[in-house]
Amino acid sequence: MREEKFKKEVFTLKKFFSIYCQNKHQNQSKIPYLIKYKDLELNFEISLCNECKELFEYAIQKLKECPNDPKPRCRKCKKPCYEKEKFKQMAKLMRYSGIKLGLSKITSKFRKKSL
């Protein structure tokens, strides 16, 4: 995939992981990352617990190795590269944070209208 796409995917993962972990878990620590992909270097920090950290790194690794271009949504991929257990964890996380994000968007729209 293109670097731009990769970057977008990484930052989406970052957002979803942060929301999930902060709502569900405790004992996060700040982890600095330097992720390299082709000509790209992504430098950021994310607060995660150990469990999420492991899954996050797994997800980044899988993303790097994704042979599909354009990358489909993992859920719709014909050849999912995730192990079953990890796939389940990931689906739960994405669903949870997706709902949270969706809800907060709706709320802020609603607020703007009523002001």
> What does the binding site for Zn ion look like in residue numbers (CB under 5 A)?
21, 25, 49, 52
Query: CB neighbours (10 Å) of residue 51?
Result: 13
Which is closer to Zn ion, CB of 2 or CB of 25? 25
Which is closer to Zn ion, CB of 6 or CB of 56? 56
Between CA 88 and CA 59 the distance in angstroms is: 12
Which is closer to Zn ion, CB of 47 or CB of 87? 47
- Closest distance to Zn ion from the beta carbon of 97 (Å): 12
Phi, psi of 63 (to 5 degrees): -65, -45
- Closest distance to Zn ion from the beta carbon of 53 (Å): 8
Residue 38 φ/ψ region, left for φ over 0, alpha for ψ in the -120 to 50 degree band, beta for the rest: left
- Closest distance to Zn ion from the beta carbon of 29 (Å): 11
In a 13 Å sphere around the CA of 109, the CA atoms on its Cβ side amount to: 6
- Closest distance to Zn ion from the beta carbon of 52 (Å): 3
Which is closer to Zn ion, CB of 15 or CB of 38? 15
